Amino acid sequence: MNKRREVRGLTLRTLVPNAITAAAMCLGLTAIRAAILQDWDAAVLLVFAAGVLDGLDGRTARFLNAQSKFGAELDSLADSLSFGVAPALIIYLWSLQFLDRLGWFAALAVAVACALRLARFNARIDLDEQPHKSAGFLTGVPAPVGAGVAFLPMYLWLETGNPALREPLFVGIWLLVIAFLMISNVATFSWTSLRPRRNIRLELLLIGALLVAALILEPWIALSIVSAGYLATVPYSILRYRKFRRQRAANKEASSAPERPA
């Protein structure tokens, strides 16, 4: 008796977040095209738009209960392209090509570091050495944030036109630092796990609204401030995580200590 084999495919509900991910990939590819045409404003903004879609696809999948292994793999591939390959090529065409081989080396560092970070996340290796997400920390700088921060010299150049900000040696060193932060075990804040106090939530809403307005009216200044502000939180997050580990070790030691007889 032949049994019918059940073939499982992607449902229409599952396709919605995957379509958003594919759209983010298209934006990353279009950003490379804009850089080839030396349309630097469009190139940077397209990567930023890809980051916005990257934040939406996962939330959409959870909202629709449409998470899938296919979607997770597609998301990693899209992130590697939009936040690794695209920024590397854009910054190379903008500045690093004038440094010849060393400039290409710096561009490769960002692209490869992004791919390694995503592979580490998918494989979930070195879990014992990585900060616990449940405690409000991530391991290293996330790929979309790393791409945004890598553009910091470009933001300032687009705003001021200062040729020193386009100096290939400076830009190359900057990219190497960002590549290191992306693949490091440095503890960084996971913004999705932060829970602000009730008495400041209206103030945070106001700041968020003003930030959106600033991104529309003065995008390069706003992105520069956001990037610099994020980098300023890294030392603080390292100290917070060290404190968390000490407290966890103390609690574990106290729980494992034998009770004294009464």
Tokens in use for 252? 């574990």
Q: Mean pLDDT lowest for which of 60-64, 145-149, 207-211, 246-250?
A: 246-250
Angle separating helix axes 100-123 and 86-94, nearest 10 degrees? 170
| Residues in CB range of 68: below 8 A, 6 or more apart | 10, 14, 18, 61
Distance of CA 62 to the CA centre of its chain: 19
Question: Phi-psi bin for 149: left (phi > 0), alpha (psi -120 to 50), beta?
Answer: alpha
Altogether, the residues listed in the chain come to a count of: 262
pLDDT of residue 204: 76
Dihedral of CA atoms 202, 206, 212, 214 in degrees, nearest 10, equals -160
CA-nearest of 19, 91, 83, 94 to 49 is: 83
Q: Write out pLDDT tens, residues 37-70.
A: 999 999 999 999 999 999 888 888 888 887 888 8
Quick count: other Cβ atoms within 10 Å of Cβ 182?
29
Contact 158, 40 (CB under 8 A): yes
Residues 20-40 as b/e (b if ≥16 CB within 10 A, e otherwise) read bbbbbbbbbebbbebbeeeeb
Strongest mean pLDDT among 116-130, 217-231, 232-246? 217-231
CA 83 – CA 142 distance, rounded (Å): 10
Q: Which residues pair with 138 in a beta bridge?
A: 188
pLDDT of residue 205: 82
Q: How far apart are the first and last CA of the chain?
A: 71
Band (pLDDT 50/70/90 cuts) for residue 7 is very low
Distance of CA 215 to the CA centre of its chain: 18
CA-nearest of 224, 206, 232 to 150 is: 224
Phi and psi (nearest 5°) for 189?
-70, 140
pLDDT of residue 224: 95
Q: Write out pLDDT tens, residues 101-153.
A: 899 999 999 999 999 998 888 776 555 556 666 667 888 899 999 999 999 99
pLDDT surpassing 60 at residue 9: no
Contact 185, 139 (CB under 8 A): yes
- Return the CATH number of 12-247, one of 3.40.50.1100, 1.20.120.1760, 3.40.630.10, 2.40.10.10: 1.20.120.1760
CA 24 – CA 46 distance, rounded (Å): 9
User: What average pLDDT does this structure show over 73-81?
Assistant: 91
DSSP state of 161: -
Looking at every residue in the chain, the average pLDDT score rounds to: 85
Distance of CA 68 to the CA centre of its chain: 21
CA 90 – CA 94 distance, rounded (Å): 6
